[in-house]
Structure 1
Amino acid sequence: MGLSVNGVDITDAAIEAELPHHAQSGNPLKQAVHELVLRQLLLQEAQRLDVPGADAEARIEALLAAEISVPAPDEAACRRYYQQQIARFTSGELAEVRHILFQVTPSVPLALLRGTGEAILAELRQHPDRFAELARTYSNCPSGAVGGSLGQIARGQCVPEFEQTVFRMRAGELGTRLLETRFGLHIVQVVRRLEGQAVPFEAVQAQVAAALQRQSWQRALHQYLRILAGRARIEGVELEGAATPLVQ
């Protein structure tokens, strides 16, 4: 695909080998290409600075360790983050949930699927007692056989977009719109809620500090990559804001 970084080609074979690592992303090809371009930028910078390492990954790690440094967050910053993200530090919170899944497949037009889902949601607003019946008829999830019941779920057990919606809802509440996830379109209802208890700040202070430091490091990495990309000659792709690669 004519892709190169400062005259160094990135081959189609390399892209094909990288693709499986991004299978869960919205656009695997785009992510694979960006990853390879950014990795090449880092390797070339490591070579320019004569950074040692046993292999490419070791040289990248050594380069980032030398070039990116962020201060540890103070206690005040940690306490602010803790208060802002208190739901993340709540233990024992559960939601009893049921849903109807309309799975997205190549054989069914998305517009038709969405229309069906919205029609069933409208029916449930008028007749909420039909949820189990309609789940058994329409849901593409195995839970449809038991009226759409997913049982009790805790934070961290579902994909983020599903979890965020569920734990914002009240007991008995039916979602007002279709929820989109990587699995398809969902009608969601929270049957019951069990509120948890916040873990004391002192018990999670180290965890909070690590999260804040990681965020700072990611911002610094993003800026560093923008600088490298800005002075490089990249052909075959346009990086969108020098997207952060999957470098841990």
Structure 2
Amino acid sequence: MTISVNGAAISSGAIDREVQYHPAPTLEEARFAAARALVVRHLLLAEAGRAEAADNAADDAEEEAAIQAVLSRAITLPDPDEDTCRRYYANNPDRFRSPDIFEACHILFPARPGDEAARTAARQKALDTIRILTAEPERFAELALTLSACPSGAVGGSLGQVSRGQTTPELETFFYNLMPGTLCPVPVPTPYGYHVLRLDRRAFGRPLPFEVVHATIAAHLRQASWQRAVHQYVSLLVGQARIDGIDLGGATSPLVQ
């Protein structure tokens, strides 16, 4: 891959060194992302009056400071006002609430994904245990201690207080659909095996007051606006440059920020 930016070459060696910072499904995609990053860096350094080739072993911190100075001069964004923040707050209610909390107990019969014999046996053990607990629910802690492959068996199978994302999606589905205080009537399959599950308590999160999250929303909107503006500015630089060996698109006229 031979690439040049306004006549300045970006070598394959520079691209090879940059690839490690751009993980991608294929090497071709990673090399394209690396080459694009080096082209953009070259353009921004040129705007900063730093015309070194991409192979130049200049101080990274110094170059980053020069690039940030260029972007700060080129991009001026107003802070989001309160009305804008309130609209974002109203349109994204699920982002601004305390987490849902669950208290549950389980008994795990382990079986790896793909081991059909082990999973069949684990499911049958879970079914047998559910039958026992349906008749004798008070035995949950006892059976968890003697049967569960999870360390929680030592404390009666208790998972403690957990919120979304702290357990598997399969368990969470039942956390939301079981009535608190009930035993799940079917074994719950997860990548770890089959679970006998009891939901003890559930507390849904509550909306957080706007005043509590105002600063967080403003910072998020400011960052999103900055990223869009940087993308547009870089696209304009690409459109105005003579770039050979790679097609990055780019705009040829100023863009609205």
Determine the C-alpha separation between the residues in 2 that align with 1:203 and 1:83.
14
Q: Counterpart of 1:244?
A: none
Counterpart in the other structure of 2:204: 195
Partner of 2:71: 64
Where does the alignment leave 5 or more consecutive residues of structure 2 unmatched? 51-59, 132-142, 251-257
Contact 2:36–2:248 (8 Å) recurs in 1: no
Secondary structure in 2 matching 1:153? strand
Q: Does 1:82 align with 2:74?
A: no
Shift of 1:146: 8.2
Q: Is the 8 A contact 1:96 1:153 kept in 2?
A: yes
Distance across 1 between alignment mates of 2:109 and 2:238: 42
Cα distance in 2, alignment partners of residues 225 and 72 from structure 1: 22
Matches within 5 A, 1:38-53: 38-51=36-49
Encode CA deviations 1:15-51: one digit per residue, 9 max, x unaligned.
24x36xx5xxx74867854653343233212233234
The higher-RCO structure (CA 8 Å, 6+ apart) is 1
Alpha carbons 1:51, 1:62 under 8 Å: kept: no
Q: Which amino acid aligns with 1:172?
A: L
Q: 1:233, 1:78 → 2: CA distance?
A: 43
Query: 1:12 is matched with which residue?
Result: 16
Taking the aligned partners of 2:159 and 2:93, their CA distance within structure 1 comes to 25
Match of 1:245 in 2: none
Residue 172 of structure 1 corresponds to which residue in structure 2? 178
* TM-score, structure 1 normalization: 0.55
Matches within 5 A, 1:98-137: 112=114, 129=130
Which residue matches 2:254?
Answer: none
Which residue number in structure 1 is paired with residue 244 of structure 2?
233
Q: Of the two, which has the highest radius of gyration?
A: 2
Amino acid across the alignment from 2:10: V
Residue by residue, what CA displacement relative to the aligned partner does 1:91-136 show, whole Å, maximum 9, x if unpaired?
Answer: 3632346798999xxxx9x8x47x89x989x98xx99948x99x95
Q: Call closer, same or farther: CA 1:200–1:57 in 2, change over 3 Å.
A: same
Aligned mates of 2:159, 2:2 — CA distance in 1: 46
Residue 176 of structure 2 aligns to a residue whose secondary structure is: coil
Higher mean alpha-carbon deviation, 206-215 vs 58-67, is at 58-67
How many residues matched? 213
Matches of 2:95 and 2:43, distance apart in 1 = 38
Shift of 1:8: 0.5
Preserved contact between residue 94 and residue 153 of structure 1 (Cα < 8 Å): yes
TM-score, normalization: structure 2? 0.54
Q: Given the superposition, is the C-alpha separation of residues 215 and 47 from structure 1 closer, same or farther in structure 2, using an over 3 Å criterion?
A: closer
Q: CA deviation at 1:83?
A: 2.3
Query: How far 1:228 moved relative to its partner?
Result: 4.3
**Alpha-carbon distance, 1:211 to partner:** 0.9
Label 1:46 to 1:225 Cα distance change in 2 as closer, same or farther (>3 A): closer
Structure 1: gaps (5+ residues): 242-248
Q: CA deviation at 1:206?
A: 1.6
Please state how far the C-alpha of 1:208 moved relative to its aligned partner. Answer: 1.0
Contact kept, 8 Å, 1:93 with 1:194, in 2: the verdict is: yes
